[in-house]
Homo-oligomer: A and B are copies of this chain.
Amino acid sequence: LRNLEDLVARFFRGDPLALARTISSIENRDPGARWIFERVYPRAGNGIRIGITGPPGAGKSTLVARIALLLRAEGHRVGIIAVDPTSPFTGGALLGDRIRMNELLGEPGIFVRSMATRGSLGGLSDATLEASEAMAAFGLDRILIETVGVGQSELDVAETADTTVVVLVPESGDVVQTMKAGLMEIGDVFAVNKADREGADRLAAEIRSTLDLHRDGGARRAAVVKTIGTDGTGVPELTRAIREHVAEARRSGRFEEHREKLARTRIQRSAESALLRGIHADGALLRFREDLVGRVRRGDLSPYAAGEELSEAIARSLAAHA
């Protein structure tokens, strides 16, 4: 505990190593992580989370680096979280295309962190969210969260962001593919990257018309900005579109509404796991569950009927200890 107190003290004195250790402890689910997080959370209110997502190869890392440098130049302190799907093969993040992030390492006022996904459902968005809150509590006021690839887990991460930027490139396929991947719905701002390539104008026009087609009522259409990450073209316009989205969400109340919804979900899930934690400490309940597994496998009982039996056993056990 003395070590943890020391860590938290260094954290609030602004030691970046203490922030790094805090995030590691969150990521590894260290025994002290929760204790640290409890101290950090109350100060996490002021960081704006910006999700940057899109298919592999869209040039997200380069754009993130550019946006970070621009935000820094405007006086912001910037955190970057690069979410890496981890391979159990290698046991660590695949840093292949993260090299460009290196130019940011050592830049004062920019803190870069890669997070491994470990393939655990739910765990990814939890750990990323907590890491971003640690960054916010540390005083970083803009946090860029880059998710590689597409898919539900990545969409979940994007949904924790206050503003989501979807990065597409002409090669990433037509808008129908993008809609299929669920990206059209989550984008608050669209970047058509590698805009010097053939098909960029067509892609931008397609995105705009798709967004127009499906806009409900008076809602503001998401901005579509053409960028070239490698030379920085369009990045000021992209950064401005992000800022305008955040400002608009604050004015309309959607910002607070979204954060409340996120809080509700986290509380609910935390309550669920607290309720279920008991079962793992209770040999009789565990045996009962294994008995149910056998009955379900034999077709004697459906998984749902078995789940209800288990829930009743848990409720009885909770009642007995209440």
Identify the A interface with B (CB < 8 A): 34, 37-38, 41-45, 56-57, 84-85, 87-90, 94, 96, 117, 119, 121, 124, 148-156, 173, 176-177, 179-182, 184-185, 210, 213-214, 256, 259-260, 263-264, 266-276, 289-290, 292-293, 296-297, 299-300, 302-308, 310-312, 314-316, 318-319, 322
Contact = CB atoms under 8 A, between A and B. Distances in A.
A88 B179 CA distance: 9
A154 to B, nearest CB: 6
Contacts of A275: 272, 275-276, 311, 314-315
- Copies, count: 2
Given A151-B153, A275-B315, A303 B267 contact: yes
Contacts of A310: 267-268, 270-271, 274
A318 B60 CA distance: 48
Contacts of A84: 180
Contact of A149 (B90, B151, B276, B306): B151
B267 A121 contact: no
A259 B294 CA distance: 10
Nearest to A37: B302
B272 A276 contact: yes
Contacts of A96: 176, 180
Contact of A304 (B34, B88, B213): B34
Given A87-B184, A275-B276, 8 more contacts: A41-B299, A42-B299, A42-B302, A56-B173, A89-B214, A263-B293, A267-B292, A275-B275
Contact of A299 (B37, B44, B94): B44
B85 A180 contact: yes
B304 A37 contact: yes
Given A89-B184, A150-B150, A259-B297, A267 B306 contact: yes
